[in-house]
């Protein structure tokens, strides 16, 4: 209850002011620079009437002495300073930060107008320790009739939680984004320490240890460890609970990346200007959880890379084996074909017809086998990344016509008709002529091999920025379900019988690789029993850098 008397006579609204009202009534104002209430100027009474009922934190500093009055909302923000702060001089109440605030207040009193500060950091003692706090506030003058400032009106918000939470969230986010590639535990923790450096207030120092038995080996550090307790590190490393060391450091274990790995223990220094409350502890625990995940990721990455390396090595060995075998096959093939050819062309001692026929067969098959071996060798080279197209501008129409022409006898021997449409105009395209020959011959050989009657049609057309080769036949076709895998290496259509059984299933794969080396692509459409059309598309401008052409080669 507020006693009726001279104070309530002056401030009839007092009863509605809650605790602030009771304090206002019970303070002996005569003992303060404000003097007895009945003598207060109207401006003060009006200012109190405006400020104290508000639910927004507000403070009034009155007279040159800056005597304080504030509302209940404000009282809730200043901790242990309340209620002594009520009626106290500002300079006394805020002694620890007055060097920052005093000049701002003075400026307002001296007619400098209102001030504004956002998230100003003040080391404030409101809970028994010097605390890091943040404030957004404005000081504005309360004018007397003559225009002088009689007091200062303070509207303020405590932004401490927001500022601190934001910076802690930044750290957590950055910890989650640490790259775990190419990192062992040490590298990873060093990256984490760099992130910790972004919040030196909450993480003044940090040490990461790897604990095995009695040994604690430092993996990474940041700042100078003021409170390091190796016994605590070992205890935590051996599976103990997280520990608080002398209120100055927090020790916790990171989850071991894999069973059998040494325990990883993180010690972080604590902010001397913040209480180690639930928010702080959660922050550190979440940070440790992120680092545990990063350790596990890095471990998984390492394992994956080791696996990939082993596979690459296996692949390399396989390609090398291919290359070697192909080489070994070429020599005897040359030794078979050479004498056969000599015998066939020997004018001095001509062979009887029956032997000519036999040797002709030997020679043709040796040639076929050599083509196959060459394909294998090319393939091995492509796999090893050793086959690079030597691009030259060539008239692709003429080149294709010539290649198809050279194959015409084989088509005719098979009882098929060959049609070649390459247009009349020259078609300059950057290609490796040798590779293009392989592409065309491979498709033609297949067309003949898998066509028993009808025709083979070779067509070259130019489209928007591309040229397209289509080799169509009226052969056995390809079952629909086989189409998607047709260009895979070693893939052969099951139960598909061509004119001959030989084939390693690399012809089409090679065609695809060669097309792709030119920045091109391949495609097929086919109907079983009706025939197939294989297509190769190449860009008309080099997708791969043109080779430096020696001047005399043009
Ligand atoms: P192969 O050495 O077996 O001919 P390819 O890679 O050249 O290897 O061809 C793979 C498979 O695709 C062949 O086994 C065959 O079944 C099928 N194929 C290729 N070309 C044709 C075609 N023109 N008509 C029908 N099937 C074909």
Q: How far apart are the first and last CA of the chain?
A: 110
Percent of all residues in the chain with a pLDDT value above 70, rounded to a whole number: 95
**Is 203 exposed, middle or buried (CB count within 10 Å of its CB: 0-12, 13-18, 19+)?**
buried
The answer, yes or no, to whether residue 99 has pLDDT greater than 70, is yes
Q: What is the pLDDT of residue 376?
A: 80
What's the pLDDT band for 226 if we cut at 50, 70, 90? confident
3-state SS of 393-449? EEEHHHHHHHHHHHHHHHHHHCCCEEEEECCCCCCEEEECHHHHHHHHHHHHHHHHH
pLDDT in tens, 494-503: 766 777 656 6
Q: Which of 16, 1, 65, 62 is nearest to 37 (CA)?
A: 62
Average pLDDT of span 164-179: 94
What's the pLDDT band for 382 if we cut at 50, 70, 90? confident
Average pLDDT of span 111-121: 95
Between residues 313 and 543, the one the model is more confident about: 313
543 CA distance to ligand 1 middle (Å) = 28
pLDDT in tens, 441-474: 999 999 999 999 999 999 999 987 899 999 999 9
Q: Which of 537, 523, 519 is nearest to 396 (CA)?
A: 537
Given ligand 1 and candidates 470, 478, 500, which is best to mutate, with the most ligand atoms within 8 Å of its CB?
Answer: 478
Mean pLDDT (the chain, rounded): 89
What is the torsion angle, in degrees rounded to the nearest 10, for the CA atoms of residue 486, residue 492, residue 493 and residue 496?
140
The DSSP 8-state label assigned to residue 494 in this structure reads T
Whether the CB of 456 sits within 6 Å of ligand 1: no
What's the pLDDT band for 282 if we cut at 50, 70, 90? very high
Q: What is the pLDDT of residue 94?
A: 96
Whether the CB of 287 sits within 6 Å of ligand 1: no
Q: What is the pLDDT of residue 4?
A: 74
Q: Which residue has the tokens 């504030």?
A: 70
Ligand 1 closest atom vs CA 510: 6
451 CA distance to ligand 1 middle (Å) = 11
The answer, yes or no, to whether residue 545 has pLDDT greater than 80, is no
The answer, yes or no, to whether residue 547 has pLDDT greater than 50, is no
In the numeric block, which tokens belong to residue 551?
Answer: 């001047």
Percent of all residues in the chain with a pLDDT value above 90, rounded to a whole number: 65
114 CA distance to ligand 1 middle (Å) = 87
For the chain, percent helix, then strand, then coil, each to nearest 5? 45, 20, 35
In the numeric block, which tokens belong to residue 101?
Answer: 């605030």
Q: How far apart (Å, rounded) are the C-alpha atoms in residues 479 and 465? A: 32
Whether the CB of 154 sits within 6 Å of ligand 1: no
Whether the CB of 471 sits within 6 Å of ligand 1: no
Average pLDDT of span 232-240: 93
Whether the CB of 492 sits within 6 Å of ligand 1: yes
Q: What is the pLDDT of residue 546?
A: 47
What's the pLDDT band for 521 if we cut at 50, 70, 90? very high
Average pLDDT of span 313-323: 79
pLDDT in tens, 133-164: 999 999 999 999 999 999 999 999 999 999 99
Give residue 360's Cα distance to chain centre: 63
Q: How far apart (Å, rounded) are the C-alpha atoms in residues 175 and 162? A: 20
What's the pLDDT band for 421 if we cut at 50, 70, 90? very high
pLDDT in tens, 483-496: 888 898 777 777 66
284-315: buried (b, 16+ CB within 10 Å) or exposed (e) per residue? bebbbbbbbbbbbbbbeebeeeeeeeeeeeee
Whether the CB of 60 sits within 6 Å of ligand 1: no
Q: How far apart (Å, rounded) are the C-alpha atoms in residues 323 and 471? A: 29
Q: Where are the beta strands (DSSP E) in 128-231?
A: 130-143, 149-158, 206-212, 215-222
Residue 348 neighbours by CB under 8 Å, 6+ apart: none
Q: What is the pLDDT of residue 548?
A: 46
């Amino acid at each position: 209850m507020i006693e009726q008397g001279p104070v309530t006579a002056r401030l009839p609204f007092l009863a509605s002011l809650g605790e602030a009202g009771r304090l206002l009534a019970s303070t002996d104002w005569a003992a303060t620079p404000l003097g007895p209430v009945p003598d207060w100027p109207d401006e003060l009474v009006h200012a109190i009437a405006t400020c104290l009922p508000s639910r927004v934190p507000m403070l009034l500093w009155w007279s040159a002495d800056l005597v304080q009055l504030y509302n209940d909302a404000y009282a809730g923000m200043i901790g242990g300073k309340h209620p002594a702060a009520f009626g106290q001089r500002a300079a006394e109440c805020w002694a620890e930060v007055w060097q920052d605030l005093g000049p701002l207040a003075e400026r307002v009193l001296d007619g400098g107008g209102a001030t504004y500060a956002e998230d100003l950091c003040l080391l404030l003692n409101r809970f028994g320790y010097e605390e890091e706090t943040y404030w957004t506030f404005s000081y504005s003058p309360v004018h007397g009739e003559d225009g002088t400032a009689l007091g200062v009106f303070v509207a303020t918000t405590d932004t401490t939680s927001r500022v601190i939470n934001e910076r802690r969230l930044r750290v957590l986010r950055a910890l989650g984004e640490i790259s775990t590639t190419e990192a062992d535990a040490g590298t990873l923790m060093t990256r984490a320490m760099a992130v910790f450096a972004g919040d030196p207030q909450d993480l003044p120092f940090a040490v990461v240890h790897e604990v095995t038995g009695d040994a604690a080996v430092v993996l990474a550090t940041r700042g100078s460890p003021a409170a390091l307790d190796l016994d605590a590190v070992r205890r935590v490393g051996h599976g103990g609970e997280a520990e608080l060391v002398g209120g100055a450091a927090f020790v916790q274990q990171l989850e071991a990346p894999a069973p059998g790995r040494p325990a990883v223990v993180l010690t972080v220094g604590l902010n001397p200007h913040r209480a180690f409350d639930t928010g702080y502890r959660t922050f550190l625990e979440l940070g440790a959880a992120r680092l545990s995940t990063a350790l596990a990721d890095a471990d998984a990455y390492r394992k994956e890379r080791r696996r990939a390396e082993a596979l690459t090595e296996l692949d390399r060995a396989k390609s090398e084996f291919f290359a070697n075998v192909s080489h070994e096959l070429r020599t005897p093939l040359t030794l078979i074909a050479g004498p056969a050819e000599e015998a066939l062309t020997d004018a001095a001692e001509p062979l009887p017809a029956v032997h000519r026929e036999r040797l002709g067969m030997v020679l043709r098959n040796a040639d076929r086998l050599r083509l196959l071996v060459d394909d294998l060798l090319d393939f091995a080279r492509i796999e090893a990344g050793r086959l690079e197209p030597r691009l030259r501008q060539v008239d692709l129409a003429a080149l294709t016509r010539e290649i198809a022409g050279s194959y015409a006898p084989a088509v005719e021997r098979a009882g098929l008709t060959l049609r070649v449409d390459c247009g009349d105009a020259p078609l300059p395209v950057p290609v490796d002529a040798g590779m293009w020959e392989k592409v065309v011959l491979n498709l033609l050989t297949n067309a003949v091999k898998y066509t028993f009657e009808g025709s083979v049609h070779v067509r070259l057309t130019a489209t928007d920025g591309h040229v397209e080769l289509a080799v169509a036949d009226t052969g056995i076709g390809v079952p629909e379900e086989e189409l998607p895998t047709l260009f895979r290496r070693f893939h052969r259509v099951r139960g598909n019988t061509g004119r001959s059984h030989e084939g390693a299933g690399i012809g089409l794969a090679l065609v695809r690789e060669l097309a792709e080396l030119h920045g091109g692509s391949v495609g097929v459409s086919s109907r079983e029993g009706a025939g197939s059309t294989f297509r190769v598309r190449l860009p008309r401008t080099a997708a791969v850098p043109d080779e430096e052409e020696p001047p005399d080669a043009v």
